[in-house]
A and B are shown apart, each in its own frame.
Chain A
């Protein structure tokens, strides 16, 4: 199936999740986005402080990777709190995964990571965010630059690429503080070994592994490829995600490397990541 970006479809967007009959390349699933009830089915730790939650959501028709959900928790006394989390999984009907980092003194993340048990419920709405989004219909290579928990929506993009079977070249640059802070370590390793079109550069900012060729440190110009360095020599779509400081630094460096600003999409998680 070939796609060009200027194609306009005759059919109206359909929120059915059927890949070929779905919305055109440029349009996300339309609202409204009512609050849906989600139930925790399972969870596992990615690091000592971050957990992936597998949520069953009746009525959920899928999403485009990069999008997020708003989560709402309500206590028995009526108190409610709301936060946004990027979806970690590839698109699916009726379920999704989130990976949540515990924020010390946070209100919502400690509940999700430390308290919530299988069978417990929360409310969510989405998928939200049409800007920071990738779909398998996009044919340019993708350059993904993630810092810390910014890896989450980028992992959704990588998982979607694998699930959809497209051959789009993907290059992920993932900056973590230390090897103990890595999310999805085994899966990323396996993906890179088994998929020719996927390249992953693992960088560390505080401390790394003994035989690392790059010493640990903040992202710098040499860590980033030029627009024509990708195998196909086609300028990639760039997605940058992480804490605000990381994103601003990365975006600046990418432009210094020659990436045009209109090829770069960013999502800032704020100082602590959410």
Chain B
């Protein structure tokens, strides 16, 4: 097993994000603050096995968002992403 990169993709955090977002966000278009690349959240890199989840740009690996499910609260940091476009109706 290649251990050099444990990344999965944004599909893996659908469940965690469903605890706070009313609509599915795997289809959200996320723009990276660092390099400007925009991807669907599902295509961004996700690191999910640590103390929290980290979403990183599929292009440049900069941190787009971080998520922690603590005892009584969920902590969300969206610094690193310029904007999220979440479709509410297709």
Contact = CB atoms under 8 A, between A and B. Distances in A.
Are A and B close enough to touch in the complex, i.e. CB under 8 Å? yes
Interface of A: 5, 8, 24-28, 30-33, 68, 70, 84, 125-126, 128-132, 244-245, 265-272
B65 interface: no
Interface in B19-73: 19, 21-24, 26-27, 40-43
Contact of A25 (B2, B6, B26, B90): B90
A269 B26 contact: no
Contacts of B7: 244, 268, 270
Nearest to B47: A270
B42 A33 contact: no
B89 A129 contact: no
B9 A129 contact: no
B87 interface: yes
Contacts of A268: 7-9, 11
B53 to A, nearest CB: 12
Contacts of B40: 131
Contact of B27 (A25, A131, A267): A131
Contacts of A84: 11-12, 14-15
B8 A130 contact: no
Nearest to B43: A266
Nearest to B4: A271
- What are the 4 tightest A-B residue pairs by CB atom distance, in nearest-first order? A26-B90, A130-B24, A131-B42, A128-B14
A271 B1 contact: yes
A125 B11 contact: no
Given A129-B26, A130-B14, 16 more contacts: A8-B89, A27-B90, A30-B22, A68-B14, A126-B15, A128-B15, A129-B24, A130-B24, A131-B24, A131-B40, A132-B11, A132-B42, A244-B5, A244-B9, A266-B42, A267-B9
